[in-house]
Amino acid sequence: MEQRYKNSLPWGHQLTRGNIQLARIRHQFGRNVACGTSYTPVSDIGVYRTPQVGSATALRIKAGGNAADTAAGAGARSVRLTGIDASGDEVTETIATAGASASVATNAQFIRLYEAAVVDTGTYGTQDAGSHVGNITIENAAGTQDWAQIQLNGFPASVTGIGSVTIPRNHVGLISNVQINVDLTRRRIS
């Protein structure tokens, strides 16, 4: 009886109970304020770096950010980058912020970045105080292409708003829910 009850739970419950090994839940969301009449990526800044034809590259935090977003500052102290490498394997690396200067480059080589998130901050996040002080832009280590941005949007978001999903090699993706909202102007979605 116990085994039958255990297997009848939805997969989300099975996951949280530890019954499904090597699985995780990812909430992917995105926003694009620059949608026109042509196809465009769903991303907070309207820019999302798609896979490169050439080779994978190191990433870094772009210069020009806020001085408080530094390794010992009141804002973001480190950012975790998650994506895939040239083999399609998931890579994750956390890099220290450097205020208004560019950070050091990652050791990991990325062909696609699908999430950047603030993981350490000098301010405990509340409804009045956020995790970072300025926009945090992720770029290639050469400094020639923006890949993603963690925006303020009036209040620090602490994570990128890239609305696409990448499934690493040897993984399976299950989509349980999709929600699309439209601001102000109604658009036909087909």
Q: What is the pLDDT of residues 125-159, one digit of tens each?
A: 778 888 889 999 999 999 998 888 888 877 888 88
Show the tokens assigned to 143.
């400094």
Average pLDDT of the residues in 35-60: 70
Name the DSSP class of 43. B
Q: Give the DSSP per-residue string, 52-114.
A: PSS--B-EEEPTT--TTSBTTSSSEEEEEEEEE-TTS-EEEEEEE-BTTS--PPPSS-BSEEE
Selected residue with higher pLDDT from 140 and 179: 140
**Mean pLDDT calculated for residue range 166-179:** 79
Q: Terminal CA-to-CA distance of the chain, rounded, Å? A: 46
* Secondary structure (3-state) at 7: helix
* Rounded to 5°, angle at Cα 48 from 168 and 56: 50
Query: Quick one: pLDDT at residue 55?
Result: 85
* DSSP three-state, residue 4: helix
Interval 64-109: pLDDT, tens: 999 999 999 999 999 999 999 999 999 999 999 999 999 999 999 9
Of residues 1 and 2, the one with the higher pLDDT is 2
Mapping DSSP to helix (H, G, I), strand (E, B) and coil, where does residue 132 land?
A: coil
pLDDT at 7 over 90: no
Q: Which residue has the higher pLDDT, 137 or 50?
A: 137
**What order of strands is seen across the sheet that includes strand 112-121?**
90-96, 76-84, 112-121
pLDDT of residue 1: 40
- Average pLDDT value for the chain: 81
| Integer Cα distance of 137 and 151 in angstroms | 8
Q: What are phi and psi of 12, to 5 degrees?
A: -65, -40
Least confident of 12-21, 127-136, 166-175: 12-21
The answer, yes or no, to whether residue 20 has pLDDT greater than 60, is: yes
Q: Which residue has the higher pLDDT, 138 or 13?
A: 138
